[in-house]
Structure 1
Amino acid sequence: MNADTAYFIPAALLLIATLIKLWALLKNWQDALLRAVCAVLFIAALVFTTAAPPVLALINKATGVPNIAAPLVYCVLTAFDGSSIVLLIHWRGNEDEARTQKATRLCVAAYGTIMAALCVLFALGDAPVERLRDLDTYYARTPYIREMIVLYLAAHSVAALTMLVLCWRWSRQVPGTLRVGLLTMSVGNLLTFGYDVLKYTAITARWLGRDLDWLSTDVAFLMAAVSALVIAAGFLIPPLGQGATSRLKALRRFRQLRPLWLEVRTAIPDTSQAPLHWWAPPELRLMQLERDIHDALLRIGPCCDRELGAMVYTQAMTRYADHSRALIVADAAVVTAAVVAKRSAQAGGGLEATARWTISSTKDTADLVSMSLALTHPLVQATRTTAPPERDSVF
């Protein structure tokens, strides 16, 4: 691969990450934090785009000033550093809003001053020979240009270490995908600091009369690309992970509730919507399943036998001495028998008069799941083979 175009690979990947977050932002435009994440990812993509040698050459040619693209790239990189710290400050949040705002203003002022200083130092220096890949080492001993290079690296190092410390500390206080994302960002910022160390080493070698330019031009670039992608992944992991976790939970509950749905499906109204396809979002499939189950339970309500429920409840209490568990088993048994009674009534067998058992395991999805799992309980299975007592028909 051409080294000059290799810069566009991380730029493209970072732009894709930006578009992913932008898609979420379009659904929630008022989310200031999400807007900040999009801005940081976009600036990161802009860093690699402007740092690509073909783009550097284009900027220099368009302005007619040799190496004018260098302070531009350094300013974009400095803007990325400052915006990353500001984002993390607001992402974490603080009970003291005034303290958060003060830290934000301080960070913006500091990095804004650095960007201005970079431009001033370049204007004061003399860099007549265009260098597209090795400007840092080529001008390492040139007055003012040398200070400009050291200043942007120092600002970059401070940002990397600050982000590393903040992400590491915060990761110890939060669970789940947020913790994974913060740890990933910690690794990315450690790699970023490694990029700075390589640059410092190559520049120091120039000061000492040695040539280690390959550390700056080749190895440092590779480390910068990897670190940027790792940091971007750290930003993406929490929202994507939470979404994946939510879908997995919905899919798990859907599968757990399916036995109950199969049990009562003959009582589901004909007007109900046909089951969604398997590729539909799990959350929607779960909502439909729960709705169908609730509709079916309402329709079989008149067939729920209180005598049967009380009998199974007593037997379950004898086994477990647990009211909640016994009630769930009783509900499952009553539902199983009620479906059979409802089907028999629809077939012309008539509905037997009975005191009604109120199914209580419908308060939330967890209750329905427990009742669904209880369908395989021996006491529930026994109701399938036990003939109900004869009563007067109401039809």
Structure 2
Amino acid sequence: MTSDKFYIPYLIPAAILTLALAIRLPVIMRFWRIDPNVRSLSGLLLLGSAVFYFGRPKSLALLNSSTGVSNFAAPLVYSLLTMFCAYCLIMVIHWRGGDPRGVRRTTWTIWSVYAGVVAGLWITFAFADVPVERLRDLDTYYANTPWMREHILLYLAAHTAACLITATVIRTWLREVAGWLRAGLVFLVIGFVLNLAYDAVKLIAIVARWTGHDLDWLSTYVAPPIASVCALFVAVGFILPHAGQAAQVLWTDYRQYRSLAPFVRELDGLDTGSLRLPRRTPLSRRLVQRRTQISDGLLRLQPYMDPGVRDRALAEALARDEAPERAAATADAVAVVAAVRSLRRGVPVGAGAGVRDSAGAGTAAAAPGPAGSPDLVAVARALRRSPVVGSFRERP
């Protein structure tokens, strides 16, 4: 009954909740003292993973044998689960915000109620007569046992109330947020609703025992996989906003870095004073260095910029029915190509208008765009794709 296949519903969610805690650890360490949300989240993830680590049949047997008390692991694991519920409620209270005094008062109320539940778990267990060790079916095996019956119902009631309140409150926020945060909240709602399904399955099996029926398989074989799926959704719900946003920023930086490559190749050979970065340099720093290199190159080209060349290229691009913003980027690209030619011939044209932004307004050639600006990217794309730039290159 305690073969490895029965450990899977426990180890996988425990590992994923631990991963979620590890991902959030830098933020937790930085804001632990000043942000109650961080403390609530860290407690929630830590207790959630502990419930699954200690809830394994092998861990239960080890706890029971080490203390010499049969089923001693039951109140311990149920206490961890109850404190997890308390952290769920405290987390949503802090997320909701409001009057600080009201938040503190509600937090202390939750702690008091759930501390009372934990005390009740240990008191009822102390009075219960549970001499037979049950590692996987304790809830149904002792469903009719005085005091242990109350013990089981107490933790299920606390868990059900916490999951119901948490799912309801989070669901009301779905209309107020968007993006990765909304996706994370959707996973959290699903996770806590599935927790309610776990409680329902447990209660059905227990009530069946009360009425003389045998539905123990619901508690023994159905409830643990449901709990595992719940943990997966909850963990993803907490990981997704942070990891999704980080992945989106990384992808945006990567696309811009690749898009600027034609601009860098066009300026190849100019003395921009750029340093060679190590291979392990973060992509965000490489992007900043590439933008700086392009800006330095434009500064070097400024005496060779010919406004007349840009105006003629703009007229040609518009004649090809290019959109105004795209035509402006095409004209800037032609101006850069012409300036590079003039510099290599050593024939300065004079300080011109410089490369303009993609809206057509004049800007200093040396002024680098901000980190998310599309101007340099648009010019780089024109250098690579525009037929106007291609035809200009073919001219002597």
Q: 1:180 aligns with which of 173, 178, 183?
A: 183
Q: Which amino acid aligns with 1:87?
A: M
Q: 1:126 aligns with which of 129, 141, 144?
A: 129
1:79 aligns with 2:83: yes
1:358 aligns with 2:367: no
Cα shift at 1:44: 1.1
Residues 381, 114 of structure 1: alpha-carbon distance in 2 compared, 3 angstrom cutoff: same
Cα shift at 1:178: 1.3
The answer to which of 4-13 and 259-268 deviates more is 4-13
Residues 275, 59 of structure 1: alpha-carbon distance in 2 compared, 3 angstrom cutoff: closer
Residues 2, 318 of structure 1: alpha-carbon distance in 2 compared, 3 angstrom cutoff: closer
Distance 2:312 2:118 in 1: 80
RMSD: 2.7
1:384 aligns with 2:393: yes
Distance 1:13 1:323 in 2: 50
1:63 aligns with 2:67: yes
Q: Contact 2:187/2:233 (CA < 8 Å) preserved in 1?
A: yes
The count of aligned residue pairs is 379
Cα shift at 1:23: 4.9
Q: Partner residue of 2:276? A: 274
Q: Partner residue of 1:204? A: 207
Q: Which amino acid aligns with 2:148?
A: I
TM-score, normalised to structure 1, is 0.86
Q: 2:18 aligns with which of 15, 20, 39?
A: 15
1:304 aligns with 2:313: no
Higher relative CO (CA 8 A, sep ≥ 6), structure 1 or 2? 2
The answer for unaligned runs of 5 or more in structure 1 is: 346-350, 388-395
TM-score, normalised to structure 2, is 0.85
Residues 70, 295 of structure 1: alpha-carbon distance in 2 compared, 3 angstrom cutoff: same
1:100 aligns with 2:103: yes
Distance 2:351 2:394 in 1: 21
Q: 2:161 aligns with which of 158, 161, 178?
A: 158
Q: Partner residue of 2:379? A: 371
Distance 1:310 1:117 in 2: 83
Q: Contact 1:276/1:285 (CA < 8 Å) preserved in 2?
A: no
Q: Contact 1:25/1:31 (CA < 8 Å) preserved in 2?
A: no
Distance 2:7 2:377 in 1: 55
1:136 aligns with 2:145: no
The answer to which of 154-163 and 305-314 deviates more is 305-314
Distance 1:41 1:220 in 2: 20
Distance 1:107 1:320 in 2: 66
Distance 1:42 1:276 in 2: 37
Q: Partner residue of 2:4? A: 2
The answer for unaligned runs of 5 or more in structure 2 is: 358-367
Residues 321, 378 of structure 1: alpha-carbon distance in 2 compared, 3 angstrom cutoff: closer
Distance 1:27 1:344 in 2: 56
